[in-house]
Chain A
């Protein structure tokens, strides 16, 4: 089994933050202290989608209902209104599903300037404080300035090797491999330098485990 799946963080406590600032910004959301739309941006494989999944779970449990919307739908004003907007009257009459504290909408891979940005801005304004919107993107420069100004923009960086070390050691030991911290750190450091992508850490762990078990 791939370590990326087997040891995937199941909750926000297991998530490894690349730095303290990121942890602080994410805790504000996972502890339900902010309803500003959240834009998570950063390179591929830094954990943006994982955070978008774990934040609603941290607030409303593992069975939380999340409205997932395709980024391409942001090109049509009609789709935006249909998929994003609910009247305040509706929210007044009906509480969120399963007694959830919040409603959630997650839009991933917004790597372009949406055509229906006007409709999106209006929806965000009308839904303010009633729905937590989480957007993920690899290219924050392409995002509409109106959307950026309404949101908390958080950079999700790759995890530095020193922060990933304990996780890597936990995985190795769990798989029966005993290596010194310096040996593992040197490997993680080389991976960080070459790829700067959290998934790459897991891939090399897979290779070491595979070599240990089967070669």
Chain B
């Protein structure tokens, strides 16, 4: 029994050693070949950008270049839609790659143009953004996402304030086995798994014995959005109440001004 246990332990250790070795290889690959290949990709993208800017000097030049590029792509059985933007066409011409990848590169170049990044600074720009994919995402945020992020930024200080205040005056205090919190008690906050009822009763079921910065951030963001929606509701209710009050007042005034006696009717 003890021998089997030792064997398993040794095998596991050996697998971990192989995994660690792969980690080192991966780090080496990322630091050398991958980094080199990315640097080369970013540099080619920089050259595409330069070429596009050169062609954009005159409308006629851009139009003629596009026509020639389209013809070559057509010969190579690469379909180009009429609504394809010129920049994407340049990317497709150079990379001859699928539509999605061309779009990603094209959006990255578009972001660079909008941010007045020169072709020679493009590799650094992409590097600073964290790669092509992150660069595209960073500059392709929808209006909805931007609004959501603004709301979070606006309400986060309030969330922190409320939580800090609640430490002194918590909703409830209860004890769990210390093993549940031995890894988390030093964290800013921990998570509790609980079951909620419709009327707001909460049954705390267990403390979560682990915690991550991501969970902490996610929870605070959700609280920020919740506070914002509560605030919106309160504002809406206040405005609705004001409207009702104003309406009631005008109704009362209009009635008071109604001529009721013969004298009033005659003078009205």
Contacts and interface: CB of A to CB of B under 8 A. Distances in A.
B245 A190 contact: yes
A194 B240 CA distance: 5
B253 interface: yes
B255 interface: yes
A160 B42 CA distance: 53
A104 B81 CA distance: 32
Nearest to A145: B83
A187 B239 contact: no
Contacts of B82: 118
Contact of A208 (B242, B245, B254): B254
Given A178-B257, A179-B257, A208 B239 contact: no
Nearest to B246: A190
Interface string A164-199: 000000000000011100011011011101110000
A208 B240 contact: no
A171 to B, nearest CB: 13
Sorted from nearest, which 4 A-B pairs have the closest CB atoms?
A190-B246, A194-B239, A194-B243, A190-B243
A195 B243 contact: yes
Interface residues of B, number: 19
Contacts of A179: 250, 253-254, 257
Contact of A211 (B143, B236, B243, B255): B255
Interface of A: 118, 141, 146, 177-179, 183-184, 186-187, 189-191, 193-195, 204, 207-208, 211-212, 215
A212 B258 contact: yes
Nearest to B143: A141
A177 B243 contact: no
Nearest to B250: A187
A141 B251 CA distance: 41
**Would you call the interface of chain A mostly helix, strand, loop, or mixed?**
helix
A112 to B, nearest CB: 16
Contact of A187 (B83, B240, B247, B255): B247
Nearest to B245: A190
A212 B242 contact: no
Residue of A141, A186, A190 most packed against chain B (CB within 10 A): A190
Contacts of B250: 179, 183-184, 186-187, 204, 208
B139 to A, nearest CB: 17
Given A208-B254, A212-B254, A183 B249 contact: yes
